[in-house]
Amino acid sequence: MTHPYDDSFQYAFPALSVAVRSLAGEITPSQTALVDTGADGTLVPLALLKSIHADEQYIARLRSHWGEWHMASIYLVDLEVEGQIFPAVEVVADESGAAILLGRNVLNRLILLLDGVRQQTDVLARRPTKL
């Protein structure tokens, strides 16, 4: 499955199609999520989590990429990434952002090809024998 990079940034950003589902079954429409291989976890806008009535699981102390510590709500949701369903994924509620940021807690479950030349992200069914 191929998804184009998000070119609304100065440097195009790898992206995938994602839907978020509460454990009760309410689901968002598929939307573009940014692929952030430097993030440990996945961030989902708080407004999106509230729209599907996802339940807050606990509060955690997180460190930003700038080194600052802050408290954040952790939610448990199912994620559908390019047609693959990942049940019971812990995500961080992003109170100020509007985009889903896929971190390594999800990305490490996928075989990805980030093709910067073609500006597309591919989710592969199996590891290629030769690139």
Residues 34, 102: Cα–Cα separation, whole Å: 6
Rounded to whole angstroms, what are the CA distances from 113 to 16, 54, 60? 11, 31, 32
| List of domains in the chain | 2-124 (2.40.70.10)
Model-level pTM? 0.92
pLDDT tens, 95-126? 998 999 999 999 999 999 999 999 999 999 88
pLDDT tens, 65-97? 888 999 999 999 999 998 899 999 999 999 998
Q: Where are the alpha helices (DSSP H) in the chain?
A: 46-51, 104-107
Tokens of 47: 């407004």
Which residue type occupies 36? D
